[in-house]
């Protein structure tokens, strides 16, 4: 199981999912219309390290975070 956390304005509770890669996570989350939009614009971190590929392999206990873009000044 991996833990998926949604940060900032994404109003979803964390999920525990069975997944072997980030591609599996993306496939599962894209079934939710609201999350599908966030998947297009959010950065993704695995165990607090930003990643850019969906081909990242996951291990039991990994933490995946969706980090939506923010405005600052």
Q: Are 16 and 3 in contact (CB under 8 A)?
A: yes
**Helix, strand, coil abundance in the chain, percent, nearest 5:** 25, 30, 45
CATH 3.10.20.30 fits 2-67, yes or no: yes
pLDDT at 24 over 60: yes
Q: Find where tokens 């000044």 sit.
A: 73
55 is written with which tokens? 């081909």
Give pLDDT tens digits for 30-70: 999 989 989 999 999 999 999 999 999 999 999 999 999 87
pLDDT for res 32: 93
The pair of structure tokens assigned to 68 is 């939506």
Where in the chain are the domains? 2-67
Q: How far apart are the first and last CA of the chain?
A: 38
User: Residue 71 — pLDDT band, cuts 50, 70, 90?
Assistant: low
């Amino acid at each position: 199981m991996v833990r998926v956390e949604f940060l900032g304005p994404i109003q979803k509770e964390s999920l525990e999912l069975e997944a072997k890669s980030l591609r599996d996570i993306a496939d599962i989350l894209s079934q939710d219309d609201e999350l599908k939009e966030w998947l297009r614009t959010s950065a993704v971190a695995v165990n607090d390290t930003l990643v850019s590929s969906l081909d990242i392999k996951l291990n039991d206990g990994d933490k995946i975070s969706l980090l939506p873009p923010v405005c600052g000044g």
